[in-house]
Amino acid sequence: MSSYPPSGPPPKTTLRQRLADLRGPAVPPRPLDARALAALAANPGCGRRALLDGAGVDKTALAAALGSPAAFGQSQFAIIRGNSFEARVKGGGGAALLELVHRHLGAGAEPPGPGTPVPDLTAAGPEGRAARTALALREATAAGAWTLLDHPMLALEVAGTPAYLEPDAVVVHPDGRWTVVEIKSFPLIDGAADPAKVGAAARQAAVYVLALEKTAEKLPSAVVGHTVLLVCPKDFSNLPAAAPVDVRRERSVTRRQLDRLTRVEELAAALPEGLSFDPARPAAELTEAVSAVSAAYAPECLAACELAFHCRERARAAGAVTTLGRSVRGELGALTTVEEALAAAAGGGRPDDPAAAALHRAARLRAEALEAAACRS
């Protein structure tokens, strides 16, 4: 009788190992942040971004290796200015920040006094910091006093994998309410700021609200406020000013979009063995690997995704109408390429396709208008 153990099925590869293989065995995972999650939620149909972000792939390095480096991001000057302003707002135990929270969102509570607790949230690794933050929130809520959490760590499951998020601050009110505080370096001029920047900040804050709600589920007395406080420089000075921002709509949209995201393990399981997004691999191999995952490019991606230039180039090469914008793509219905749209305008579309009929009618009206203008001249 053989002394060898009976053969069985090969050991099953865990999701963590599979994602590490996709990322590259020597490449550390790049953690998801609220800015990336807000952009991911804005384009839930993009399996490429969902998988790369879920696997912790460094998309900046990957884009450079593909020959389409990202051309956006904060300047070093803006980062230094932002850090300096945040340090000013939180100086002196966060007295100025707490005063702004009380003024705009205090709801009749006693103002914070000197020596308001600012718990130490240091711990080993993001998991440890998230656990320490949860404990600090529980203790502050039970104490029923103003408490400032400086750069807490929150956990949120996204597409089957945990994401660790770090808001600028969370303030616990005496009544047990938790408020997210976003500190930005763009100015509030006469009490108003650039709507596009405020919208981006609201989407980012909505991600923090969702993560806080997961922690609050274990504390019956805790309530997560859906109005966050946006703190910015006042006019053209370096003095802090604040404005409350209701993020209920952004929270609902983000929650719905994140729930719709395809789970990372399903995307990874559909890929062939040996495929890798390791930036150290040849460009041709990386191009083939990236092309194996479906994308949903739109011009808005240029301001939010490091791979946008690569995806735009591929979409243009394929003649995809997505390069013209989501609104145009929606109007064209089943016509997915520019070639199909032009053929429909020339009368070659399906007669039962309303988009093709509308294009043909528009082309005919344009031709008639040009002919009439030529006759008048």
Return the closest-CA partner of residue 20 out of 64, 47, 54, 66.
54
Give the HSE-up count for residue 254: Cα atoms under 13 Å, Cβ half-sphere: 26
Average pLDDT over residues 266-290: 91
Instruction: Give the CA diameter of the chain.
Output: 102
Is residue 309 within 8 Å of residue 70, measured between CB atoms?
yes
Q: How far apart are CA 144 and CA 173, in angstroms?
A: 7
- Residue burial 346-356, b: 16+ Cβ < 10 Å; e: rest: eeebeeebebb
Is residue 150 within 8 Å of residue 41, measured between CB atoms?
no
Q: Which parts of the chain fold into alpha helices (H)?
A: 15-23, 34-42, 47-55, 59-65, 76-105, 125-143, 195-216, 248-260, 264-269, 283-291, 308-317, 326-332, 338-345, 354-376
β-pairing, 240-246 with 177-183? unpaired
Work out the burial of residue 99: count CB atoms within 10 Å of its CB; fewer than 13 is exposed, 13-18 middle, 19 or more buried: middle
Is residue 281 within 8 Å of residue 23, measured between CB atoms?
no
pLDDT for 287: 94
Instruction: Return contacts of 50-53, CB within 8 angstroms, 24+ apart.
Output: 50/159, 50/261, 50/262, 50/264, 50/267, 51/22, 51/264, 51/267, 51/268, 51/293, 52/277, 52/293, 52/307
- Residue predicted with more confidence, 54 or 4: 54
Q: Which two tokens stand for residue 188?
A: 């509030």
pLDDT for 81: 84
Beta-bridge partner residues of 85: none
Q: Which two tokens stand for residue 53?
A: 């972000």
Q: Which two tokens stand for residue 39?
A: 């952009």
Q: List, for residues 198-236, the tens digit of each pLDDT value.
A: 988 999 999 999 999 999 998 888 999 999 999 999 988
Give the HSE-up count for residue 136: Cα atoms under 13 Å, Cβ half-sphere: 28
Question: At how many degrees (to 10) do helices 338-345 and 354-376 cross?
Answer: 60
Is residue 245 within 8 Å of residue 202, measured between CB atoms?
yes
Q: How far apart are CA 199 and CA 271, in angstroms?
A: 36
Average pLDDT value for the chain: 88
pLDDT for 218: 85
Q: How far is CA 361 from CA 137, 158, 202, 281, 367, in A?
A: 62, 45, 42, 50, 10
Indicate whether 37 pLDDT > 60.
yes
Average pLDDT over residues 165-174: 95
Beta-bridge partner residues of 158: 161
Is residue 132 within 8 Å of residue 108, measured between CB atoms?
no
| Per-residue confidence band for 1, with pLDDT thresholds at 50, 70 and 90 | very low
- Residue predicted with more confidence, 19 or 224: 224
Q: Which two tokens stand for residue 139?
A: 């203790």
| Per-residue confidence band for 333, with pLDDT thresholds at 50, 70 and 90 | confident
